[in-house]
Each structure stands twice: as C-alpha cells, then as structure tokens.
Structure 1
Amino acid sequence: MTPQSARRKVGGVLTVGLILVSVSACSLGVKTDATPKGTGSWTVLTYSIADTDLEPSMMDDIDEMGKVGSNENLSIIALVDRAADYSSDSVLGLDDWTGGKLLEINKGSATELEDLGDINTGDPAVLADFITRGIAKYPADNYALIISDHGSSWPGVGGDESSDSDLLTLAEIDAALASGLAAAGVDKLDLLGFDACLMATYEVASTLAPRADLLLASQDLEPGHGWDYAALATASEPVDGPTLGRALLNGFAAQAAAEGNEESITLSLVDLARMPAVDEALAKFSAALVQRGSAVAPIVGVSLASTLGFGRSADPSQDSHMTDLGILAGEIGVKALDVSEAADALVRSINDAVLDKVDGIATLGATGLAIYFPPQQDYFAAEYLDLDPTGGWGAFLTSYYGAGKSIPANKRAQFTTAAGEVTFADDGLYISAPFASADNLAAASIRYGLVETDGSITFLGQEEASFSTDGSGVAKGYFDLTTMTISDDTDTVNAYLKLLTDKVAGVTTITVPMAYYAPNGVGGDIYQDVLLSITTDAETQEVLTETYYAFNADLGTYGELTTDPDGIIVPEVLNILEDGTEEWLATSDYGLYADLPSLRYEFVRLAPGTSLYIELNVTDFGGNTSTVSAYVILP
C-alpha cells in the first residue's frame, strides 16, 4: 500500500484554511450571533466525498438523512460533491448535479444553501471551511462531523476523482479540524465519524484525539451501504455523544444484517479522552519489544501471522497490513512472559478506550483498534515514520525488520529435503516435510495449481499450514482438492483463493484478487483492481456473504465496487517468472459479465486424473521462505 506521494505542508493548510473560512463566511452572510438550539441540541455535519464510484451509495445515505431531517433539536448539514458519470438519480427533490453543493437536510427534502461548483474535497481548506460555516450558522450544544468515502487507514480518506484523486491525508484532516474548529470558536467536536474503510486505527485515534471527544469508525472494510443515517433520529431529542454514537453503531449493524453482510463487519466507538493512556501503554510495550530485540521477534512473528487482520489480500501489494492491536498485544503477552505486564496494560487501555463495538463471525473478537504492521520490510511504507505520534511503534517496526535481516543463515527457514511427501487421506491431500529449526519460524502455508499441457502452472489458491514446535521439526499442509469457480451462467472461471479458517468461529474467510473492466475498456489494458471478500461456513462451504471492494493502488484506499453490468470482471492470475518473481496479471481475454448480484460461486472437487502441483512453504519472521513441492496425479 503506497500513500499518495504529493503532500501539502501543514503550515500552509492552516493559513489557507483560515483565509477561506473568512471569505466564505462573509460571502454567505453567516451570522456569528445565530441563535443556538435548545439544551442537548446537535448539529451534524456530513462531508460526502461522492466524486467517486461510491456516489450511488452516498446518495442513498442522503436519502436516509432525509428520513429524519433537521428539527428543533437537530440540524443536518451536508457538503455533497457528486461525480459526472456514476449516478444520475435525484436526491431529496434535487435533480442530479455535478460538483459540490451545500445542503440543509430537511425531512423528505433538502434546501440548497450554495452551489459550490467544481471543488476539491481532498483540499483540507475546503473541509475546514465547511466545519466553520456549519458551526457558525447552525450553533448547538453538540457537534458531530462524519466524513464519507474510500478509506485507507493512516494514509487518509478519499480521493476526489475530478481533482486528480486527491485524498485527505491524516495530517490534512488533523489540520483541517484544528483550523475549522478554531475559526468557529469551538474546542473540539463531540463526535467524529468516518463512514469509510479501515479508519478505526491507533494512528487515526491518537492523531485526532485532541479534535473530538469520540471517534466512530470501522477497523475492517465497510460494505457499500455504510451507516444507516436514519439513526440520526436519536438526536431529535437531547442526548449525549455516547448515546448518538451507539445509535449509529447499532443502526449500522442492523442495516448490515438486513443487507446480508453482517458476518464481516466492524465498527467501534472510541473515547478519545482515553487515548493518552493508550499512547503511554503502547510506548511502554513498544519499548519492551525493542529492548528484547531478536529474542522476542520470533514470538511477534508467530503472533502476527495468527492475529485478525483487516483489508487482507492474496496480493501483498494490495494488503492494508492492518492488524488488531488488542489481539496482537494479548497474543504476544501470553507467549513472551517478560513483556506480559506491558502487553496486559496495553490491552486494558484499549478496552477502556473502546466504549462499544460490533463485530461479525468473520471478525469475531475484534477489539476496536487496529495498527499498521506489514510482516516484512518489503511491504512497509517509509512515510509511516513521518506520522506523529506513533507511540513508539515506528521504532519497534524498525527494530523488528532489522532483527529479521540479521537472522543467521543457519537459523533461517529451511527444509532439509528437496521434495515434499504427499499422501492421500480424508478425501484430500497431505504434504509434509522436515525443516531444520523452528526457532525463527513465523508461518507455514501451502499453494496449489493445475499443471497445464505446456508445463506451466495455473495457481488455484493458498492456505494456512502448520509447523511443529515440539522439536519434531515437521511442517504439514492439507488440501481438500476443491477449488472455487465463479459463473455468470454464460461462462465459468476458476478463481485464485487465499483462505483463512477460524475454527472457533467456524468460518473461512476467502479473498480473491480480481480486475474490473468498464464497458468501454473491455479488450484494453485499463482496469480497476478489485478484492472479492467471501465468508463461508468452514464445514459446509456455504457462502454466507460476498462483497466486491475496489482498490486504488495509487492511494491504497478501499471501498465497495460499483460496476456496469455490461463490463466484465475477471480473477487475476498469479504468474511466476523464471527468476522466481511473482506478479499478478489481469487479462480481459476471458471474463464474466459484471452483474455482481447474479454471479454464482461453487466449490468443485478436482476430477480424478488431474495433474496437480502443490508446494509447502515455511517462512521466518524475517521473510525468508523455504519451499518443497510435488507433482501428483489425483486418484
């Protein structure tokens, strides 16, 4: 995941933001002496970066706000920037438009306060201006700001497609909030929400803690419907921030259940006043890990491999590399007793800060805050070290990667045989092989594919394997000889799968790298990277949920995919080059019509006589991998 390279200087943002606030307020005739609403009143500001493929979903959100509308206790003010091509629907009585509009949301209708024209919602000055004007013209006892669009965790939110896909970086969001609130004469927001993917992270919460009392955001990818804004009705009566936050949280969970994707959701309500305690606990935990260095690194590697992650992909370059901080710290504390006190303190501080949360079967046990942790330095974005604060986590990652590079050659992941031993049993295939040492191992996996007539391999998937820690020195993997096909009732294609099974929850999470070609791009080389996320029953393989997420490789952002049914969608193919380098290829030579609700998924057992390639891998915490493989004919 590579954040946008061009960044604005924060100092410049503050200056421009204040100037824009001053000019815009005057031009609109904003009254600084506007009469506040009654005690316990709310002004909810929604910042909809809808100049993206999420526009149709965001228009649904505006309609949901219209089910409530502003009233004597509640003002709902929306800045909505629409795109030219994704939707032509009217919303709350307003015909389709392109560009930004400032709206007051009423019950069943919307009042246009200003046509903003072609604006860049990735410009922090625009966000700061919106905050100041909204608070000045609609004073209340409580203020909430909700930012909606694609999310990418610590790199930010966005971006605006008519402005070179400019996104709001975390530093820019922080600067915009500081500027906008200061100009409005308000110390902080009562509630800050991100209706976007991957924003419930330590980095986001710690950075923005001075700007709001509460944070509402998701650790994982969010389905396209996002939050249910009809839950704003709770603020029609005097309520406090936690009450409104919980209403939005519960509304999201109920809507996800109605849409059939509740198995893989997350949303957490964080008390930002308690983030300084999390900062302190993380700093002590990070320092303890740095102090132990290479001695604790193998434990960290094993813990990371088994910890719940978010925005995962079979293609590491499209993985968000976000992992659950509470679960990770707890696992490390159990296995490394000399850091258990610091780990326990960190877990307690997270539990104290997270006031409420929802999770699904596939995200069971999510603690409410994620943190950035690529398993190897090759996937680490150096820009992360520019964040402030990081609770010492950046220093730990630097130390961890250094320890990985320093693993002695004779202590790296290494099988002691050239080929894996294959046996057939339990309606599947086992592959096993002895390895030299488990001291630094972090994970084991299998990968399998069809052997084509020209000798090339069409890979079908990868999944977890196991390695012994009792001194026997054997790694083993199992493949049930089934693969997944996707069909549009005209064509059927094999899909490359990455499978992670949670035996406690009884579900398997499957991710499939794919590519979407718009109708005017079929047959060309321009496509959109896509991640298909599927949750199945681990025993029956019944598909419980499936959601397609668009991935922006330049920004590292995710959001549910919007397609034209006349376009095509294809699984990406894993290609192994002669030097062993791996690359993912998206070809439009074959594919399925992109009518996503009509696609069917089936797990098919490979036929007897199939020529199969299978490999078993062990990887140490430094990223060194050893592989044994075998070619077999299925009985």
Structure 2
Amino acid sequence: MKIPGKREKISLIFFFILVLCHGITCPIFADTSGTLLIAVYASGGTLEESGLITRDLFQIVKGAENCFSDNCTIIAAYGGADKPGWHGMTIADLDDLKADLSNRILGDDNSFTIHLPGASMGDPKTLQFYLSYLRENHHYTRVFLIFIGHGQAYTGMLFDQNHDDDGLTIGELTTSLEIGPEIELIGFDSCLMGCLEMVSALSPFAHFAITSEESEPAEGWPYKPWISYLGQNPNAKADEHAKELFKNYMNNERQGKTISLLYLKDAGFLTLQLERFAKDLHALAGTDEGCRIIKEALSDTQQFGLTGSGDLSEATMDLYNFAETIKRKVPYISDSADGVIEGINRTVVVARHDERVPGAHGIAVLSPVQINPLFYDYYRESAFITPAWDKFISRYLDKCSEKKDMLPVTSSDINVAEPN
C-alpha cells in the first residue's frame, strides 16, 4: 500500500529476485474495479529533453478528466531520460500522475507507486518487472499496452539515455511478454515499428497492434481525445478504438504519416507467404539481370525512414508495394507475390497514410537499399523472419548491392529521424 509522501524504493537485488520469482508481489492492494487496463511504458530519451513524453502523459491525464469510466485503469511506467525524476523507472497510477503533473512537470515530487532508481528502460528485466506488477496487482479483462519512445524498426526501441542508450531488441521484448499479462492490443507510439520483423515476433503475445511504418510526428499520438474515448467506451472493439485514434492522428499537419491496426494472429500466414516469395527472389538474385530487376523494384517501392529534416534515409520498405512491383516486373513469380499481398490484406485491419507516402499499405520490412553485409550480419537475429528471406537478403547484399564494400552502416545512419 502506498504511504502518502513516502518514496517507495526497491533495491536492484530485490528487483531481480522479484523478476525471477513471479509469485512475489508489491505491497499494494489489487485493483478489483477495472475491466480495461491501459498500461503505458515510456522511455524518454532525447524526446524528453523537449518535454515531449511529459506532454504525452499530461494529455493522458487530461483525457481521463471527464466521463472516465470506472471500468478503466491507467498505470504508467516512465524513465530513460537524463533529467531529474527520469532516472530509473517510476510506476505511477492515474492519481499519482494527476498530482505530479499539477505543475506540468513530471518526476519532481513523491507522487508515485514504485521507483526503481537504477533500472534501465531498455533492460528486459525492467519491462518484466512492470508486467509482473500489472499482472499481480490489477484486475482486468482487457489490456492495452502502449510503448512510447524512440523506435528504429528491427534494430531496437525505447533507448535509455542513462544507460548508454541501451534499448530493447525484438528478442528482449518478446522474452518480456512471455510472463504476461495476456494482452489484447500493443501500441507503438514510436517510429518505424510497423515492420514484419516485429509483427511476426509479437503474434503469440497479443491479438492486435497499432504501429507506424514511417517516422512519427514529434508530438506522437494525440492522447487527450483518444484516452477520453477509451474511458467512455471501454467495451468498444479494438478497431473502433483504433479508428478514433487514427482520425485525430492523421490531422497532424506533418507529412509522411502512416498508422495501422494489425491483426497479429494472421502474421503466421503472412510469414509463410513471405517464405515462398523469398525463395523466388533468392533465385532471381542469382543472375546479373535478376539483380538489375530487383534494384529497379526497390527504387520503385515505397521506402521509409524520414529524418527530422524531412530527408529520406531508407530503413524499411512497404512489403505490399514491393511484392506488387516485383509481380509487375517478373510475371512468372506472381503467384508467390500474390500470396504476400493476400497475407498483408489479412493482417492489416485498418491502415491510414497521407500523400507523402502513397505506397504505404500497413506493414514494412527491412530495406536492403542503404545497408551492407556487415550491418546485416550484426542485426541478423533481430531482422530474421524466415530462412528463405534471410538467404535472399544475404544474397542480394553480397551479389547485387553496390554497398557491399563500404564501411559498416550504423543504425543511426539508417534512421536519424528525430520525431520518435
């Protein structure tokens, strides 16, 4: 139970014990009233240098002010920025956030539930602790888990400034999700996380995901109207919640916006189709003419990786658009390309994009345009989707790409987008 005005700290030793021994719970009374749990996990990073994550959490509080149903619970975990109150991880409920943000500054008083001063938001053990806390201390029938912070597609997300910019890899994220709770929807208020590498990995752990193929506006999601809608309609279907968010998100004036609701349980079908398609691509990349065709297709495919200055640094590409382009250029592999297109149509429930990115269809994948074999080898585990796709990318980079003899490309080289 929280003691007003007293900071509840948990040592890292106890923290690791708690993560390993899931039966141990924090001394806080379980919430027995909520049916929809909105769980926010935010790593401030450079975004919080401008107060952008504080702004998000302030919007969440404002959205919950009027007509917020008793059937909704909000629990936030934040940290990861090199500023007072943002070292380690702090867990706060809605009342804590309201009290702390009364002066519009987050982390400057003792209004919170738990504080782990040495934790890294990019450490899977920190996320596991948070998820264990939710599972053991709150009653719910639906869980929406929202991640806020920088995203770099298959290379990682939620980087912690206080721990050498350590971020969560796809493998670390899925390992954390294995401990529960059961999640209906995972939201990524982060750049470039609408990639199949992430989507296929998440499919066992949630039903739906909200993601962006492209970099996001610096402001991220418009939380105030969306949280208000969630609070008033806690029993609405996931697609209705998503459409309400998308409507306001697409009103942002910044160009290059994409946002999608994905049905993760069909990602398995999509990856099977990608395996077939990749076998054909691997064969195509075995000849000089095939390399030329693939290069042309990549040039014609919608690429993602808009930087803060508005320039494009190709990090990922639209998978539907790529399959469609290959089908047009190489008719004899149209069957496998059509399979990928069908898989995307099954997985993408709702997708929105603006005129800057006309070739966006909801799911991206690694683009080999800017990378070289050394870079791919470094991120191979995170970028892996299927064996044939891995072989195709490797062959393309080795046989077709003009960048194979260049120095290694870093993740910051392919995604320096400062929006999110």
- TM-score, scaled relative to structure 2: 0.81
Residue identity matched to 2:353: D
Report Cα offsets for 1:491-548 as digits up to 9, x if no partner: xxxxxxxxxxxxxxxxxxxxxxxxxxxxxxxxxxxxxxxxxxxxxxxxxxxxxxxxxx
| Cα separation, partners in 2 of 1:217 and 1:22, compared to 1, 3 Å | same
Corresponding position: 1:244 with 2:238: no
Match of 2:150, SS state, is coil
Query: What SS does structure 2 have at the residue aligned with 1:52?
Result: helix
Distance in 2, Cα, partners of 1:296 & 1:555: 25
Greater relative contact order, per chain length (Cα 8 Å cut-off, separation 6+): 2
The change in CA–CA distance for 1:328 and 1:51 in structure 2 (over 3 A counts) is closer
Query: 1:291 and 1:381, CA in 2 relative to 1: closer, same or farther beyond 3 A?
Result: closer
Q: Among 260, 263, 270, which residue is 1:271 paired with?
A: 263
Q: Which residue of 2 aligns with 1:400?
A: 396
d(CA) in 2 for partners of 1:139, 1:314: 41
**How far apart are the structure 1 equivalents of 2:189 and 2:221?**
7
2:378 alignment partner in structure 1:
383
SS at structure 2 position matched to 1:311: strand
Taking a change above 3 Å as real, the CA distance of residues 128 and 249 of structure 1, as seen in their structure-2 partners, is farther
Instruction: Mark the CA change 1:358 to 1:30 in structure 2 (over 3 Å): closer, same or farther.
Output: same
Pick the structure with more helix per residue.
Answer: 2
Letter in 2 for 1:362: R
- Assess if the C-alpha contact under 8 Å between 1:220 and 1:266 holds in 2: yes
1:77 matched to which residue of 2?
Answer: 75
Partner of 1:371: 365
Q: Quick one: distance in 2 between partners of 1:67 and 1:313?
A: 30
Residues 160 and 24 of structure 1: CA distance in aligned 2, closer, same or farther (over 3 Å)? farther
Question: Structure 2 vs 1, CA of residues 172 and 313 (structure 1 numbering), >3 Å: closer, same or farther?
Answer: same
Determine the C-alpha separation between the residues in 1 that align with 2:370 and 2:47. 32
Structure 1 residues 206, 140: closer, same or farther in 2, change over 3 A? same
Contact 1:228 1:252 in 2 (8 A): yes
Sort the Cα spacing of 1:405 and 1:59 in 2 relative to 1 into closer, same or farther, 3 A.
Answer: closer
Partner amino acid for 2:59?
Answer: E
Structure 1 pair 552/402, CA: closer, same or farther in 2 (3 Å)? closer
- What's the Cα RMSD here? 3.0
2:291 and 2:414 mapped to 1: Cα distance? Answer: 30
Structure 1 distance, partners of 2:37, 2:237, is: 12
> Where is the strand percentage greater, Structure 1 or Structure 2?
1
Instruction: Kindly state the Cα deviation for residue 385 of structure 1 after the two structures are TM-superposed.
Output: 2.8
Partner of 1:411: none
Alignment of 1:530-549 (within 5 A): none
Match of 2:163 in 1: 163
Partner SS for 2:365: strand
SS at match of 1:112: coil
SS in 2 for 1:173: helix
Change (3 A) 1:208 1:17: farther
Which residue does 1:35 correspond to in 2? 32
The alpha-carbon distance between structure 1 residues 117 and 265, as it changes in their structure 2 partners (threshold 3 A), is: same
Note if contact 1:160-1:166 (Cα within 8 Å) is conserved in structure 2: yes
Deviations 1:61-93 (A, max 9, x none): 0011102336411111001116344xx7xxxxx
Q: What is the distance in 2 between the residues matched to 1:18 and 1:314?
A: 38
Amino acid at match of 1:163: H
C-alpha distance 223-405 of structure 1, shift in aligned 2 (>3 A): closer
Are the counterparts in 2 of residues 200 and 370 from structure 1 also a CA contact under 8 Å? yes
Summarize the Cα distance change of 1:64–1:24 in structure 2 as closer, same or farther, 3 Å threshold.
Answer: farther
* Structure 1 unaligned regions, length at least 5: 1-15, 89-95, 407-550, 562-635
Cα gap change, 1:372/1:553 in structure 2, threshold over 3 Å: closer, same or farther?
same
CA distance in 1, matches of 2:342, 2:218: 33
SS in 1 for 2:93: strand
Cross-structure match for 2:274 = 282
Residue 361 of structure 1: how far off its partner (Å): 1.1
8 Å CA contact retained: 1:207, 1:388: no
Aligned to 1:399, what secondary structure does the other structure show?
helix
| Residues 376-414 of structure 1 deviation map (CA, whole Å, 9 limit, x = unaligned) | 6636421343247513321111222344279xxxxxxxx
Task: Render the CA deviation track for 1:211-238: whole Å, top value 9, x for unaligned.
Answer: 1111111111111100011202222232
Identical counterparts, % of pairs: 23
Alignment of 1:480-491 (within 5 A): none
Please give the per-residue CA displacement for 1:124-159, whole angstroms capped at 9, x wherever unaligned. 010011112123222211001111111100011031
Match of 2:412 in 1: 553
State the secondary structure of the residue aligned to 1:199: coil
- Residues 1:346 and 1:67: Cα distance change in structure 2 (over 3 Å): same
**Separation of aligned partners in 2, 1:396 and 1:30:** 52
Partners of 2:328 and 2:308 in 1: CA distance: 29
Corresponding residue SS for 2:154? coil
What is the TM-score normalised by the length of structure 1?
Answer: 0.55
